[in-house]
């Protein structure tokens, strides 16, 4: 009797697992939100939104490691292009040592920012000063009102944790930056009311397809790399995506190493436990 119940419970368990597997696999294969289940009506977003393309970063995957040279290039792109609108307020200059910069280089980078908010010691009035390694990156705009005024009523979000905040992470940032295009004719034909409004830009990787950010990386050579890498739009986008992966997860490599060691440890202890089991029951008939 008990055996039968156990067998039934086992079967039910296996059944649920099989259903979960089928759902997961079909989800991955169709690679889109399951419209049939949510019953979402057709719209420009459901039909024309694209999933991020693989940026092919070396940090991806369980054994992923950062390419420090690439992180430095990405930092350069952030500094020379993105920092005009986006802050990086959770990152301190001294953290940049993690990109392979020496203490002197970090000091020089910090001192290169002369807009760190400060107070004039004589008058008490607001002033600015040069950065030191302990400072965080300065804000791009004094406040949200100024940010909106300069960006067609949209606020450029802080980028420190962006690759963690969006589905697709670095791949999303890379795809977004390289994904600007004209609105497809098929879209306009099917959904004429979804025409990109004035002041916005069509980008199929952005959730609602129309983004307030003008394409920030437009032409090859916008940034001059010193390590010989060709500054194509594609490379600049990939490099800044790598840099933003680092700002959001600077301990990624250590995490991966610990994960690997934990798996080795668990495997070894399983082997030991199995050996002990064989040893203890060696002379007992069971």
Residue ranges binding ligand HEC (CB under 6 A): 77, 81-82, 84-86, 151, 154, 156-157, 162, 166, 173, 176-177, 206, 211-214, 216-217, 240
Q: Residue 122 burial by CB count (10 A; 0-12/13-18/19+): exposed, middle or buried?
A: exposed
Closest to ligand HEC by CB, 79 vs 94, is 79
Closest to ligand HEC by CB, 118 vs 219, is 219
Residue 135 CB neighbours (<10 A): 17
- Using DSSP, state whether 209 is helix, strand or coil: coil
Least distance in Å: CB of 77 to ligand HEC?
A: 6
Q: Residue 209 burial by CB count (10 A; 0-12/13-18/19+): exposed, middle or buried?
A: buried
Least distance in Å: CB of 270 to ligand HEC?
A: 42
Closest to ligand HEC by CB, 77 vs 242, is 77
Specify the long-range contacts of residues 226-233, CB closer than 8 Å, at least 24 apart: 227/69, 227/72, 227/73, 229/69, 229/73, 233/177, 233/178
Radius of gyration of the chain, Cα coordinates, nearest whole angstrom? 26
Least distance in Å: CB of 85 to ligand HEC?
A: 3
Closest to ligand HEC by CB, 60 vs 212, is 212
Residue 136 CB neighbours (<10 A): 17
Least distance in Å: CB of 172 to ligand HEC?
A: 7
Least distance in Å: CB of 3 to ligand HEC?
A: 55
Closest to ligand HEC by CB, 49 vs 129, is 49
Give ∠ CA 30-56-100 in degrees, rounded to 5: 145
Distance of CA 163 to the CA centre of its chain: 2
Does an H or E element contain 48, and which? helix 44-48
Closest to ligand HEC by CB, 142 vs 261, is 142
Least distance in Å: CB of 261 to ligand HEC?
A: 33
């Amino acid at each position: 009797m008990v055996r039968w119940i156990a067998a039934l419970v086992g079967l039910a368990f296996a059944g649920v697992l099989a259903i979960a597997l089928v759902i997961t696999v079909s989800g991955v294969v169709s690679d889109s939100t399951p419209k049939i289940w949510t019953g979402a009506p057709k719209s420009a977003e459901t039909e024309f939104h694209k999933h991020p393309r693989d940026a092919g970063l070396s940090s991806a995957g369980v054994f992923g490691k950062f390419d420090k040279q690439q992180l430095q290039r990405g930092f350069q792109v952030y500094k020379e292009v993105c920092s005009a609108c986006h802050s990086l307020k959770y990152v301190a200059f001294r953290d940049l040592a993690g990109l392979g910069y020496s203490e002197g280089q970090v000091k020089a980078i910090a001192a290169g920012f002369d807009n760190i908010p400060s107070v004039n010691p004589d008058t008490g009035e607001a002033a600015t000063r040069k950065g030191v390694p302990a400072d965080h990156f300065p804000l791009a705009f004094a406040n949200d009102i100024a940010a909106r005024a300069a960006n067609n009523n949209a606020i450029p979000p802080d980028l420190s944790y962006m690759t963690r905040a969006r589905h697709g992470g670095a791949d999303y940032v890379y795809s977004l930056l390289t994904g600007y295009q004209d609105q497809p004719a098929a879209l306009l034909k099917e959904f004429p009311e979804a025409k990109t409004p004035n002041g916005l830009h069509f980008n199929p990787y952005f959730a609602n397809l129309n983004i307030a950010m003008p394409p920030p990386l437009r032409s090859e050579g916008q940034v001059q790399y010193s390590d010989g890498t060709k500054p194509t739009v594609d490379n600049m986008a990939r490099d800044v995506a790598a840099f933003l992966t680092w700002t959001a997860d600077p301990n990624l490599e250590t995490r991966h190493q610990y994960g690997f060691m934990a798996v080795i440890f668990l495997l070894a202890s399983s082997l030991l436990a199995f050996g002990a089991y064989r040893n203890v029951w060696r002379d007992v008939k069971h």
